[in-house]
Amino acid sequence: MENNNAWVHPQEMDYRRYTLWFIYACIIYSIIGFSWGALMGGIAEFRYFVDHRMHGDLIVRAHTHVNLLGWVEMAIFAAVYYVVPRLVNRPIYSLKLVKVHFWIHNLGLIGMVVFFTVGGVLGGLASQHSDPADVELIVRPILATMGIFGTLVLLANFIWAYNLFRTCSGWEKRYA
Task: Give the per-residue pLDDT at 52.
Answer: 87
- Asked if residues 41 and 60 have their Cβ atoms less than 8 Å apart, the reply is no
Task: Give the per-residue pLDDT at 108.
Answer: 98
* Distance between CA atoms of residues 16 and 147, nearest Å: 32
Task: Give the per-residue pLDDT at 66.
Answer: 97
Give residue-wise pLDDT tens across range 152-163.
999 999 999 999
Q: What global pTM score does this model have?
A: 0.89
- Residue 123 is assigned to a structural domain of this protein: yes
Total domains in the chain come to: 1
Mean of pLDDT values over 59-82: 97
Distance set, CA 103 to CA 13, 95, 146 (Å): 18, 13, 17
Give residue-wise pLDDT tens across range 9-46.
778 899 999 999 999 999 999 999 999 999 999 999 98
CATH number of the structural domain spanning residue 154: 1.20.120
Give me the domain span that covers residue 53: 9-168
